[in-house]
Amino acid sequence: MECSVCGKSDWKTISQVGDIEIWACQSCGRKESVALARLAPAGVPVFKPVKAVGKWTKKPSISDIKQMKLIFPDVSASDATLLRHFFLGISIDLGVIPDFKIEAARKQAVEAGIHIDFLPLD
């Protein structure tokens, strides 16, 4: 970043409040507040795993069942078993997915006629 007064880019951090750092131009003394991009500390996972449990909201077609297995690769039950889950009205264990995939998975699942609940893994 260049100083808007003197055009140099010789900054020194003089204080930090939360995600904002105050920088001072070493050439002319101008102060700027700079928003820091938060980086995850090393060794800390950036997502949480969650358990997905689904229920058919309509009688699934073969392509709905295929779609379910595409969205949730952990699903190992046979197509017949998954269809039976519809008739029995019972939940299907869809496996574990990272939390940042929840929204995309929910959207795709709705299109395939699956209602999903996400449970923390704790």
Question: Which residues bind to Zn ion, rule: CB under 5 A?
Answer: 3, 5-6, 25, 27-28, 30
Smaller CB distance to Zn ion: residue 14 or 70?
A: 14
Q: Which residues pair with 92 in a beta bridge?
A: 54
Residue type, 28: C
Q: How many C-beta atoms surround the C-beta of residue 63 within 10 A?
A: 9
CB of 9 to Zn ion, least distance (A): 9
- The angle subtended at Cα 96 by Cα 50 and Cα 116, nearest 5°, is 70
Give the residue with the Cβ less far from Zn ion, 6 or 53: 6
Closest contact distance (angstroms) between CB of 3 and Zn ion is 3
Kindly state the smallest distance separating residue 37's Cβ from Zn ion, in Å. Answer: 23
Please, which residue, 28 or 70, has the CB nearer to Zn ion?
28
Give 83-119 as a DSSP string: HHHHHHT--EEEEEEEGGGHHHHHHHHHHTTEEEEEE
Q: How far is the CB of 27 from Zn ion (least distance, A)?
A: 4
Q: Of 21 and 99, which CB lies nearer to Zn ion in the complex structure?
A: 21
